[in-house]
Amino acid sequence: MNAIDKVRFLDPVYQPSQEFWSRRLAAGYGAFKFRQTNANTPGNDSRQAVQHFELSSELYNNLVARVGDNDTGAFVYLLAAFGILLKKYSGSSRVTIDSPLYTPGFKGKIQAPVTPLVLEPANELSLRDYLSTVKQTVKDSYTHQNYPLELIYEQKEMRNSNVLIHWDTIHMPVTQHNNYDLVISIKRSATLHISLHYNTTAFEAAFMQRLPSHISNVLACFESMDTRLQDVVLLDLDEKMKLVRDLNRTNKDYALLKTFQELFEAQVRKTPYATALVFEETELTYVQLNEKANQLAHYLLQQYQVKPDDIVGVLAERSERLIIAILGILKAGAAFLPIDTSTPANRITHILQDANAKVLLTENNQLQHLQAYTGAQELLDLLLPSLNGKTENPGLSSKPCNLAYVIYTSGSTGLPKGVMLGLDNLSHYLLWANDYYFNNILGKTFALFTNISFDLTITCIFTTLLRGDTLFVCGNKDISDILLELFSGAAGVNTVKLTPSHISMLSYLPLESTPVQYAIVGGETLTAFQVSTLQRLNPAMDIYNEYGPTEITVGCTVKHVKDVATDLSTIGKPIANTQLYIMDENLELLPMGITGEICIGGAGVAKGYRGRQELTSEKFVKDLFGAEDDRLYRTGDLGRWNEDGEVEFLGRRDNQVKIRGYRIELGEIENALLQYETVKEAVVLVHEQDNAVKSLVAYCTATAQLSIPALKEFLTTRLPEYMIPAHIMYLDKFPVTNNGKVERSALPVPGTVNNNKCYEAACNDCEAVLIAAFSKVLGVNNIGVQDDFFALGGDSIKAIQITSHLYEAGYRLEVRQVLRYPVIKRLAAQVSPLSQLANQGVITGELPLTPIQQQFFAFKRKAYDHFNFGLLFYSKERLQTEVATTIFRKLQEHHDALRITFRLENNTVTQYNHGLDHPFSIEEYEYTEVKQLEKKLRTMQAQINLGEGPLLKIALFHLPDGDRLAMIVHHLVTDVVSLRILFEDLGTLYRQHLQAQPFSLPRKTDAFKVWAEKLQAYANSAAFLPERTYWQKILAVNTPLLQPDFPQGSNLIKDRATKQISLEADATHLLLTAVHNRFHTEINDLLLTALALGLRQSFGWEQCRVLMEGHGREDILDQVNVSRTVGYFTTVYPVILTAAGDDLTTLIKRNKKRLHAIPHKGIGYGILKYLTAAEHKQELDFSAPEQIAFNYFGQFDQDIANLPFGFAKEDTGPLQDTREQREYELYITAMTEGGLFTLTIDYSVKRFAADTIQGLLENYQAALNGIIEHCAAPVTA
Q: What is the pLDDT of residues 345-387, one digit of tens each?
A: 889 999 999 999 999 999 999 998 898 899 999 999 999 999 9
Shared domain for 665 and 806, answered yes or no, is: no
**Does a structural domain hold residue 867?**
yes
Task: Please give the pLDDT value at position 710.
Answer: 84
**Dihedral sign from CA coordinates of 747, 751, 756, 758:** negative
Burial (0-12, 13-18, 19+ Cβ within 10 Å), 677: exposed
Whether pLDDT at 694 is above 80: no
Task: Please give the pLDDT value at position 41.
Answer: 42
Whether pLDDT at 60 is above 70: yes
Tell me the per-residue pLDDT of 1186-1238, one tens digit each, with 9 for 90 and over: 999 999 887 666 457 667 888 899 999 999 999 999 999 999 999 888 778 99
Shared domain for 1126 and 1164, answered yes or no, is: yes
Lowest average pLDDT, out of 232-246, 978-992, 1054-1068, 1163-1177, goes to: 978-992
Task: Please give the pLDDT value at position 794.
Answer: 64
Question: Which DSSP string corresponds to 184-244?
Answer: EEEEESSSEEEEEEEETTTS-HHHHHHHHHHHHHHHHHTTSTT-BGGG-----HHHHHHHH
**Collapsed DSSP state (helix, strand, coil) of residue 1055:** helix
- Which residue would you say has higher pLDDT here, 32 or 1242? 1242
Shared domain for 216 and 82, answered yes or no, is: yes
pLDDT-based confidence at residue 216 (cuts at 50, 70, 90): very high
Tell me the per-residue pLDDT of 482-532, one tens digit each, with 9 for 90 and over: 999 999 999 999 999 998 878 878 877 888 899 999 999 998 778 787 898
Closest residue by Cα to residue 188 from 166, 210, 217, 215: 166
Task: Please give the pLDDT value at position 724.
Answer: 86
Cβ-proximal residues to 133 (8 Å cutoff; 6+ apart), any chain: 119, 120, 125
**Does a structural domain hold residue 154?**
yes
Domain at 704, CATH number: 3.30.300.30
- Which residue would you say has higher pLDDT here, 1092 or 907? 1092
Shared domain for 982 and 1105, answered yes or no, is: no
Whether pLDDT at 326 is above 50: yes
Question: Which of 234, 269, 286 is where one domain is finished?
Answer: 234
Shared domain for 801 and 863, answered yes or no, is: no
Name the strand (E) or helix (H) holding 502: helix 500-506
Closest residue by Cα to residue 289 from 384, 205, 194: 384
**Does a structural domain hold residue 1052?**
yes
Shared domain for 786 and 677, answered yes or no, is: no
**Collapsed DSSP state (helix, strand, coil) of residue 561:** strand
**Does a structural domain hold residue 1082?**
yes
Query: Mean pLDDT for the chain?
Result: 88
Shared domain for 44 and 167, answered yes or no, is: yes
Task: Please give the pLDDT value at position 431.
Answer: 96
Contact between 558 and 547 under an 8 Å Cβ cutoff? The reply is yes
pLDDT-based confidence at residue 43 (cuts at 50, 70, 90): very low
Whether pLDDT at 155 is above 50: no
- The pTM assigned to this predicted structure is 0.60
**Does a structural domain hold residue 1128?**
yes
pLDDT-based confidence at residue 703 (cuts at 50, 70, 90): confident
Tell me the per-residue pLDDT of 880-910, one tens digit each, with 9 for 90 and over: 999 999 999 999 999 999 999 999 998 899 9
Question: Which DSSP string corresponds to 1079-1132?
Answer: HT--HHHHHHHHHHHHHHHHH--SEEEEEEEE----S-STT---TT--S---EE
**Does a structural domain hold residue 211?**
yes
Shared domain for 1175 and 1060, answered yes or no, is: yes
Q: Which domain holds residue 971?
A: 845-1004
**Does a structural domain hold residue 1126?**
yes
- Provide mean pLDDT across the span 426-442: 95
Task: Please give the pLDDT value at position 42.
Answer: 40
661's torsion region: left (phi>0), alpha (psi -120 to 50) or beta? left
Shared domain for 1097 and 1187, answered yes or no, is: yes
Q: Which of 72-81, 804-813, 1196-1205 is predicted most confidently? A: 72-81
pLDDT-based confidence at residue 1049 (cuts at 50, 70, 90): very high
Amino acid, res. 801? Q
Contact between 605 and 426 under an 8 Å Cβ cutoff? The reply is no
Contact between 398 and 374 under an 8 Å Cβ cutoff? The reply is no
pLDDT-based confidence at residue 737 (cuts at 50, 70, 90): very low
Contact between 108 and 130 under an 8 Å Cβ cutoff? The reply is no
Whether pLDDT at 932 is above 80: yes
What is the total count of domains within the chain? 5
Shared domain for 878 and 998, answered yes or no, is: yes
**Dihedral sign from CA coordinates of 580, 581, 582, 587:** negative
Task: Please give the pLDDT value at position 32.
Answer: 82
Helices (H) and strands (E) in the chain, counts: 40, 48
Contact between 267 and 468 under an 8 Å Cβ cutoff? The reply is yes
Contact between 869 and 846 under an 8 Å Cβ cutoff? The reply is no
Whether pLDDT at 653 is above 50: yes
pLDDT-based confidence at residue 692 (cuts at 50, 70, 90): low
Whether pLDDT at 308 is above 70: yes
Tell me the per-residue pLDDT of 270-285, one tens digit each, with 9 for 90 and over: 999 999 999 999 999 9
Instruction: List Cα–Cα distances, 826 to 709, 742, 792, in angstroms.
Output: 12, 36, 16
pLDDT-based confidence at residue 33 (cuts at 50, 70, 90): confident
Cα–Cα distance for residue pair 254/858, rounded to 1 Å: 67
Cα–Cα distance for residue pair 1124/1196, rounded to 1 Å: 17
Shared domain for 151 and 181, answered yes or no, is: yes
Domain at 779, CATH number: 1.10.1200.10
Cβ-proximal residues to 909 (8 Å cutoff; 6+ apart), any chain: 849, 853, 857, 902, 903
The three state secondary structure string of 434-464 is: HHHHHCCCCCCCEEECCCCCCCHHHHHHHHH
Question: Which of 234, 264, 287 is where one domain is finished?
Answer: 234
Shared domain for 1020 and 972, answered yes or no, is: no
**Collapsed DSSP state (helix, strand, coil) of residue 1202:** coil
Amino acid, res. 661? G
Whether pLDDT at 966 is above 70: yes
Cα–Cα distance for residue pair 750/259, rounded to 1 Å: 49
If one counts every other C-beta atom within 10 angstroms of the C-beta of residue 900, the result is 26
Task: Please give the pLDDT value at position 798.
Answer: 65
Cα–Cα distance for residue pair 737/742, rounded to 1 Å: 6
Beta strands at 518-522 and 495-498: parallel, antiparallel or unpaired: parallel
Tell me the per-residue pLDDT of 110-153, one tens digit each, with 9 for 90 and over: 777 889 999 999 999 999 999 999 999 999 999 988 888 777 76
Domain at 129, CATH number: 3.30.559.30
pLDDT-based confidence at residue 738 (cuts at 50, 70, 90): very low
Whether pLDDT at 739 is above 50: no
Lowest average pLDDT, out of 23-27, 162-166, 750-754, 1203-1207, goes to: 750-754
Lowest average pLDDT, out of 816-820, 838-842, 883-887, goes to: 816-820
**Does a structural domain hold residue 278?**
no
Report helix angle 796-808 to 479-488, nearest 10. Answer: 80
Task: Please give the pLDDT value at position 413.
Answer: 66
Task: Please give the pLDDT value at position 588.
Answer: 94
pLDDT-based confidence at residue 28 (cuts at 50, 70, 90): very low
Q: What percent of the chain has pLDDT over 90?
A: 62
Lowest average pLDDT, out of 4-13, 154-163, 393-402, 1257-1266, goes to: 154-163
Task: Please give the pLDDT value at position 716.
Answer: 81
Tell me the per-residue pLDDT of 992-1024, one tens digit each, with 9 for 90 and over: 888 888 888 878 878 999 999 999 999 999 999
Cβ-proximal residues to 562 (8 Å cutoff; 6+ apart), any chain: 543
Task: Please give the pLDDT value at position 1103.
Answer: 95
